[in-house]
C-alpha cells in the first residue's frame, strides 16, 4: 500500500493508493481493511479491481450492498493476460447496506470452497463453491494476483483507508476488526451550553462587539470506531466557516478575527490558540465576532479539526448551522441559562454519543439517619442486592446509547450542580464526575463532596466523589497496560495485571487474590472469555472502591489477618447466607461473616462498603453495614483494634467461615 499520503505516523492513506499483492499459490486468503467513503459516493461503483479482469473484485451495488466476485477462482493471472473470459464469476452479496460517511471494516475471505463478505466483524454475505461449476481453473497454478483501487483506466472512488492487510487463512477477520481501529473527531453535544436552539436544530448565539456578545462552550472528543475515547497527544483548532459551503469566514473590516477562544480568562483568535486533547477531550469557550447580517444573512458553522494534519473528513467536526445576532446591550443576559441539545452528531454510525458504561443500574438504599456514632448501622434486610445491569452480550453499537443532555459543569459548588447530583441517577452522577475530574482541583472536588453530603443527608457520597479523579485516571492507565491498544483481551492474560493493581492499591503485599476472587471478578465483568473496555470498566468500578476500603488502616489489618480469616474474600450474599445456614442446620447466634456488597459500584454511595452478615438471637439472618466515615479517625484513633470493636457489638461474637462446598450454591 502506498505511503506518500499517510497522515504522519497514524496510518491513514487515500483509497487510490490501496493495492494488495496475493502471493504465489496463495489460494486461500483474507483481505481486510478499514475504509471511509463519503456520502457523495456514487452507486453502483467499484471499490477494488482485479488487474487483467473485466470483473470488479469488490463493488457497491445500486442498493449500496457489497458484491465480492474474485476472478482468481476462474483463471490464473500472468503478465500477458488479456482478461478473464466471459465465464460466470461466482460472487457473494451482502445482505445489509454499506454505511457511508463513517468508518467501516471490510473483510473479504476467499477459500477453495467458500467466499465471504465481512462488515464490521460480522459475516454479511457468503457463497459456497462447487468444484465442478464454480472453480473452473487449477487454483494451484496461478502465480500472483494484484488487487487495486485503481484499474482498467477507470477513475478511483474518493475515500480513505486504514490498516489494510492480506492475512493467511488461519488468521481471523474478527481479530483484525478489533485491533487498531481508526479514529474520528466529534462534538460532545451534551457539553454544549449557553446557546439557544431554534427550529431545525439551528443554534442562535449573540455576537458582534465585545460589550454585547455572549460566550458559549463545547467539548470535542477523539473517539475510535467503537465509540471509545482515545488518548493521543494532539491539538484541536476551532475556526468559523459558512454553513452552506464550509468556506472560512473572512475577518471584519477592522481586521478582527471572526472567532475568539477564551483561555485563562483572556481572549485569543481561535486559529492562534489550539486546545490540547486531554484523555480524548478538548474543551472550548468561544465567541463569534461576525454577525450573520454582516455576511448576507448567511449562517455559520464552527469547524473543529486536528492541527497540522491533512483535512481528512474524519478529523473534522462541524456544529449545526449557527445564526449570530446582535443582542441589545442594555438587556441583561443570564449567565446560567443553557439549552439541552439532542445528543450525538458527527459520530461514525450517525447514532448518539457513547454511553460510558456504569456497570450497574440505579439502586435505591434507605439510609438510617440515627446510625451516626455507631460502628454498625442497620440497612434494609434484603439490601436490594439485585444486579439489573444490561446484558454483556450486547454489541458495541447497542452500547452506544443516547446520553442525557447535561450542560458543561463549571461551578462545582453551585446549587444547580449540587441538586442535579443529589437528584440524578448513577449514570448521570458518573458522567458529572467524569467531566469534573478532567479539570477540577482536589480542593474543588472536596468542596463539592461536602455540600452534596450535607444536602443529601448521606455522608457516604463524600468518598465516591473524592476518589473519582484517581479512580478514573488509574483505570485508564490499567486498561492501557492490559490492552496494549487492542479492543479486547483474553481474560487469562489480564489476571496478573489485575492482581498487581489490586495489591498496589490496597498496600497489602502479604495477601493476593484467590482463584475464587478472580472468578468472582470475571463474573462482575460479564463472564466472557475476552475482556473489552466496557467489561473492564464495569469490573474496575466495583474493584477500586473495595481496594480503597482495604487500604484503610483498620480494614487493612482485617484483610491481612489470615488466622482467623476476618474477611474471607469476594462472595455474594447468597453464598454467605448458605454458609451461615450450614448443611446441618443454622449456626449459633452471633456468628458473622464480613463481605463486600456485589451490586454496589462507583459512584454508588455504598460502593466498597463492608457488610456484616450474621445469625441473630432469633436464629434468623441479618445484614448490617459498617459505618466507615473516612473523614474522621474514629476507628483508627481508638486504642482498641477494629477486631475488638467488632466483637464488642452485642450481635457479633464469632467469625464464621466459608468452605469450598458452600460455593456450589
Task: Write the pLDDT tens digit of every residue in 171-208.
Answer: 899 999 998 899 999 998 877 888 888 877 889 999 88
Grid cell locating 403: 446520553
Distance, CA of 278 to CA of 220 (rounded, Å): 10
pLDDT above 70 (res 310) = no
Among the listed ranges 33-42, 138-147, 221-230, 343-352, which one has the minimum average pLDDT value?
343-352
The pLDDT of residue 583 is 62
Cβ within 8 Å of residue 209, ≥6 positions away = none
Distance, CA of 90 to CA of 140 (rounded, Å): 18
Q: Please, is 113 exposed, middle or buried when counting C-beta atoms within 10 Å of its C-beta (0-12, 13-18, 19+)?
A: exposed
Yes or no: say if 546 and 513 are a contact pair by the CB < 8 Å rule. Answer: no
Q: What is the pLDDT of residues 467-497, one digit of tens each?
A: 999 999 999 899 988 988 788 899 998 999 9
Nearest to 111 by CA among 60, 171, 52: 171
pLDDT above 80 (res 26) = no
Grid cell locating 294: 454582516
Yes or no: say if 31 and 177 are a contact pair by the CB < 8 Å rule. Answer: no
DSSP 303: E
Between 348 and 308, the more confident residue is: 308
Yes or no: say if 542 and 524 are a contact pair by the CB < 8 Å rule. Answer: yes
Nearest to 168 by CA among 34, 380, 22: 22
pLDDT above 90 (res 61) = yes
Torsion of CA 633, 636, 642, 647, to 10 degrees: -50
Paired with 307 in beta bridges are none
The mean of the pLDDT values for the chain is 78
DSSP 255-291: ---SEEEEETTEEEEGGG--EE-BTTEEEEEEEE-S-
For residue 646, give the H/E element and its range: helix 642-647
Grid cell locating 578: 448458605
Q: How confident is the model at residue 653 (pLDDT cuts 50, 70, 90)?
A: very high
3-class secondary-structure state, position 564: coil
Q: Please, is 163 exposed, middle or buried when counting C-beta atoms within 10 Å of its C-beta (0-12, 13-18, 19+)?
A: middle
Nearest to 552 by CA among 489, 619, 479, 463: 463
The pLDDT of residue 63 is 93
Distance, CA of 623 to CA of 652 (rounded, Å): 11
Residue with cell 496461478: 142
- Residues across the chain: 665
Distance, CA of 593 to CA of 598 (rounded, Å): 14
The pLDDT of residue 122 is 93
Between 386 and 596, the more confident residue is: 596
Nearest to 405 by CA among 352, 359, 449: 352
Q: Using a pLDDT cut of 70, give the percent of the chain over it.
A: 77
Distance, CA of 455 to CA of 388 (rounded, Å): 28
Q: Using a pLDDT cut of 90, give the percent of the chain over it.
A: 38
Yes or no: say if 445 and 515 are a contact pair by the CB < 8 Å rule. Answer: no
Between 389 and 272, the more confident residue is: 272
Cβ within 8 Å of residue 369, ≥6 positions away = 457
The pLDDT of residue 129 is 83
The pLDDT of residue 474 is 92
Q: How confident is the model at residue 663 (pLDDT cuts 50, 70, 90)?
A: low
Residue with cell 486461500: 28
- Give the count of alpha carbons within 13 A of 213, CB side only: 20
Distance, CA of 567 to CA of 559 (rounded, Å): 6
The pLDDT of residue 72 is 63
Nearest to 315 by CA among 343, 340, 282: 282
Cβ within 8 Å of residue 395, ≥6 positions away = none
- Please report, for residues 20, 82, 128, 133, 139, the alpha-carbon distance to residue 75 in angstroms, rounded to integers and kept in the order given: 18, 11, 18, 13, 8
For residue 451, give the H/E element and its range: helix 442-456
Distance, CA of 635 to CA of 526 (rounded, Å): 35
Dihedral pair phi/psi, residue 37, rounded to 5°: -110, 130
DSSP 63: T
Between 420 and 97, the more confident residue is: 97
Q: At what angle do helices 515-525 and 495-506 cross, to 10 degrees?
A: 100
3-class secondary-structure state, position 582: coil
Q: How confident is the model at residue 536 (pLDDT cuts 50, 70, 90)?
A: very high
The pLDDT of residue 117 is 96
- CA angle 47/121/165 to nearest 5° reads 55
Grid cell locating 445: 472536588
Distance, CA of 290 to CA of 283 (rounded, Å): 22
Q: What is the pLDDT of residues 312-359, one digit of tens each?
A: 899 999 999 999 998 764 433 333 233 333 333 332 333 233 332 222
Query: What number is the average pLDDT over the span 454-474?
Result: 90
The pLDDT of residue 443 is 86
Tell me the pairing of strands 235-242 and 300-306: antiparallel
Dihedral pair phi/psi, residue 32, rounded to 5°: -130, 140
Cβ within 8 Å of residue 108, ≥6 positions away = 30, 31, 32, 57, 58, 68, 70, 115, 116, 117, 118
Nearest to 27 by CA among 131, 177, 118, 122: 131
pLDDT above 90 (res 160) = yes
Q: How confident is the model at residue 644 (pLDDT cuts 50, 70, 90)?
A: confident
Distance, CA of 207 to CA of 326 (rounded, Å): 6
> pTM here?
0.52
Amino acid at each position: 500500500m502506498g505511503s506518500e499520503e499517510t497522515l504522519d505516523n497514524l496510518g491513514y492513506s487515500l483509497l487510490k493508493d490501496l493495492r494488495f499483492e496475493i502471493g504465489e499459490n496463495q489460494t486461500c486468503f483474507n483481505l481486510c481493511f478499514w475504509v471511509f467513503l463519503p456520502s457523495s459516493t456514487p452507486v453502483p461503483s467499484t471499490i477494488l479491481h482485479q488487474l487483467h479482469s473485466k470483473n470488479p473484485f469488490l463493488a457497491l451495488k445500486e442498493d449500496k450492498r457489497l458484491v465480492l466476485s474474485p476472478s482468481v477462482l476462474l483463471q490464473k493471472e500472468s503478465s500477458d493476460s488479456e482478461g478473464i473470459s466471459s465465464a460466470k464469476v461466482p460472487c457473494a452479496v451482502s445482505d445489509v447496506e454499506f454505511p457511508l460517511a463513517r468508518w467501516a471494516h471490510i473483510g473479504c475471505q476467499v477459500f477453495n470452497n467458500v467466499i465471504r463478505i465481512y462488515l464490521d466483524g460480522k459475516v454479511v454475505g457468503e457463497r459456497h463453491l462447487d468444484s465442478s461449476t464454480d472453480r473452473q481453473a487449477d487454483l494451484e497454478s496461478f502465480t500472483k494476483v494484484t488487487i487495486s483501487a485503481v484499474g482498467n483506466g477507470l477513475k478511483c472512488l474518493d475515500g480513505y483507508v486504514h490498516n489494510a492487510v492480506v492475512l493467511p487463512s488461519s488468521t481471523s477477520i474478527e481479530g483484525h476488526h478489533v485491533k487498531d481501529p481508526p479514529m474520528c473527531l466529534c462534538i460532545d453535544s451534551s457539553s454544549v451550553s449557553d446557546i439557544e436552539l431554534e427550529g431545525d436544530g439551528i443554534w442562535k448565539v449573540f455576537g458582534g462587539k465585545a460589550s454585547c456578545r455572549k460566550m458559549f462552550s463545547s467539548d470535542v472528543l477523539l473517539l475510535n470506531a467503537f465509540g471509545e475515547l482515545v488518548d493521543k497527544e494532539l491539538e484541536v483548532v476551532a475556526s468559523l466557516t459558512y454553513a452552506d459551503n464550509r468556506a472560512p469566514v473572512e475577518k471584519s473590516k477592522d481586521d478582527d478575527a471572526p472567532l475568539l477562544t477564551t483561555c485563562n480568562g483572556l481572549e485569543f483568535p481561535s486559529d492562534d490558540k489550539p486546545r490540547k486533547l486531554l484523555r480524548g477531550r478538548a474543551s472550548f469557550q468561544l465567541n463569534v465576532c461576525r454577525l450573520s447580517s454582516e455576511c448576507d444573512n448567511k449562517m455559520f458553522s464552527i469547524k473543529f479539526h486536528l492541527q497540522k494534519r491533512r483535512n481528512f473528513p474524519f478529523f473534522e467536526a462541524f456544529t449545526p448551522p449557527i445564526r449570530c445576532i446582535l443582542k441589545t446591550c442594555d438587556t441583561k443576559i443570564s449567565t446560567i441559562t443553557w439549552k439541552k441539545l439532542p445528543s450525538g452528531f458527527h459520530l461514525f454510525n450517525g447514532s448518539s454519543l457513547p454511553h460510558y458504561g456504569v456497570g450497574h443500574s440505579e439502586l435505591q438504599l434507605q439510609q438510617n439517619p440515627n446510625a451516626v456514632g455507631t460502628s454498625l448501622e442497620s440497612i434494609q434486610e434484603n439490601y436490594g442486592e439485585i444486579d439489573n445491569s444490561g446484558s454483556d452480550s450486547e454489541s458495541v453499537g447497542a452500547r452506544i446509547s443516547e446520553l442525557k443532555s447535561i450542560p458543561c459543569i463549571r461551578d462545582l459548588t453551585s446549587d444547580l450542580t449540587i441538586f442535579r447530583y443529589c437528584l440524578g441517577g448513577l449514570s448521570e452522577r458518573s458522567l458529572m464526575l467524569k467531566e469534573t475530574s478532567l479539570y477540577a482541583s482536589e480542593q474543588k472536588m472536596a468542596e463539592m463532596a461536602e455540600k452534596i453530603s450535607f444536602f443529601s443527608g448521606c455522608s457516604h457520597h463524600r468518598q465516591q466523589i473524592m476518589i473519582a479523579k484517581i479512580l478514573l485516571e488509574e483505570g485508564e492507565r490499567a486498561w492501557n497496560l492490559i490492552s496494549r491498544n487492542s479492543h479486547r483481551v483474553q481474560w487469562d492474560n489480564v489476571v496478573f495485571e489485575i492482581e498487581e493493581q489490586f495489591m498496589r492499591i490496597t498496600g497489602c503485599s502479604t495477601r493476593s487474590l484467590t482463584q475464587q476472587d478472580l472468578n468472582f471478578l470475571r463474573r462482575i465483568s460479564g463472564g466472557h472469555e475476552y475482556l473489552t473496555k466496557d467489561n473492564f470498566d464495569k469490573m474496575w468500578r466495583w474493584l477500586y472502591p473495595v481496594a480503597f476500603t482495604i487500604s484503610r488502616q483498620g480494614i487493612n489489618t482485617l484483610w491481612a489477618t489470615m488466622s482467623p480469616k476476618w474477611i474471607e474474600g469476594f462472595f455474594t450474599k447468597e453464598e454467605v447466607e448458605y454458609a451461615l445456614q450450614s448443611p446441618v442446620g443454622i449456626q449459633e447466634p452471633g456468628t458473622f461473616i464480613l463481605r463486600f456488597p456485589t451490586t454496589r459500584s462507583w459512584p454508588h454511595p455504598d460502593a466498597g462498603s463492608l457488610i456484616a452478615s450474621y445469625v441473630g438471637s432469633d436464629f434468623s439472618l441479618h445484614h448490617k453495614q459498617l459505618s466507615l466515615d473516612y473523614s474522621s479517625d474514629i476507628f483508627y484513633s481508638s486504642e482498641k483494634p477494629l477486631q475488638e470493636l467488632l466483637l464488642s457489638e452485642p450481635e457479633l461474637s464469632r467469625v464464621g467461615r466459608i468452605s469450598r462446598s458452600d460455593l456450589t450454591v
